[in-house]
Structure 1
Amino acid sequence: MRILRTAAVLLASGALLAGTAGGTAVAQAPAAQEQNDQVLVFILDKAVPVKKFKNPEGCYELPVGTHVVINDTPREITLYATPGCDGTPVVPGVPLEPGRGAHDSPAFGSFKA
């Protein structure tokens, strides 16, 4: 009888924890999604803070000294050699998938989301 009572308490505790965890996850989902709609740009100089482009739409010029670009959006972005997001026949835009990053080179000057 004692084993059954202990099992019942453990099952009830597990159900309570599962309900709490589920509620927490649902409550945090919108905030987590908002944070993941940004492009992060790391500048070569360690004294310069990370540049964050939140909810990017359109064309953005990359800061001078850009070293790494991280696409933390749910959609593909495109890196361009020119500041105006213009591809050329020789150097067309380079796609960057969601969740991916790229070392930037002096060849890139902008991105389009």
Structure 2
Amino acid sequence: MDQAAEAIADPIRRAILRMVRDERLTAGEIAARFPVSRPAVSRHLRVLRESGLVTDDLSGRHRYYSLNPDGLTELHHWLSALMTPAGWEQRLDALETEVYRARRDNRETA
């Protein structure tokens, strides 16, 4: 999780993740969209690959990068737990039970 968090801390790497979310791109295609050098983009891609956030596959002479959403799973779960106040799940479950009970009681009296 820490590697993924560190990887997405950089705005260029976040932009790269958005780019490769929907389409496979080569390093050259990615680098063409940034004002930084191609070697700098290659370093960003290496960080993303090593953190498990992107995958690369070789097709002929080109290496294509794409998003690996599984690399974000642990971070996503941690953030979700952090954003959900403690006890809310039990409260919502209790509310659901009461709603079903009220509906049942209304049907029985109707």
TM-score for the superposition, normalised by structure 1:
0.26
Tell me which protein shows more helix as a share of its residues: 2
TM-score for the superposition, normalised by structure 2:
0.26
